[in-house]
Structure 1
Amino acid sequence: MNRKKKLNSILEKRMKRLNAKKNFNAKPKYISKAERARLEALAQSDAAQIEETTEVNQ
């Protein structure tokens, strides 16, 4: 019985590793707080430029 249990546990570990490698990109990439602030500032400046161009066109 111990031999069967050992073989089954080895096979289960292999399957877990293969599944983990297959689904490696499940989590979104981490974006630091400073990077989020920079992106937000860029978005706001882009929005301000768009508003300026619409005001000039009208």
Structure 2
Amino acid sequence: MNRKKKINQTLKSKLKKMNAKLQNSNKPKYVSKAERAAIAANEAEGSDVSSNEATPDNSADSLVDNSAENNANNDAKNDAK
């Protein structure tokens, strides 16, 4: 292989590798089996707690409070910009 061809080959391979690193993958992030079990346990625990404690009156009040807080946070972010 002559010198010019070898140089072009190495440059092309480096360029391909750099372009491959720039591409985003559609593959979801790996979650280990232990983490999946912990997440499932938290969801099961959270659904039991929320179903036992939630009442129609309390949930409506919390929705109003959350929307007021979200509006205040959005206003603060817009002012910062």
How many residues get paired?
55
Give CA-to-partner distance per residue, 1:1-48, whole Å, 9 cap, x none: 84443233112111112113323x524332111110110010111111
Q: TM-score, normalised by structure 2?
A: 0.52
Give the equivalent residue in structure 1 for 2:51.
51
- Unaligned 5+ runs, structure 2: 57-81
Q: CA RMSD in A?
A: 2.3
SS in 2 for 1:28: coil
Q: Please show how residues 1-58 of structure 1 align to structure 2 within 5 Å.
A: 2-23=2-23, 26=25, 27-54=27-54, 57=55
- Unaligned 5+ runs, structure 1: none
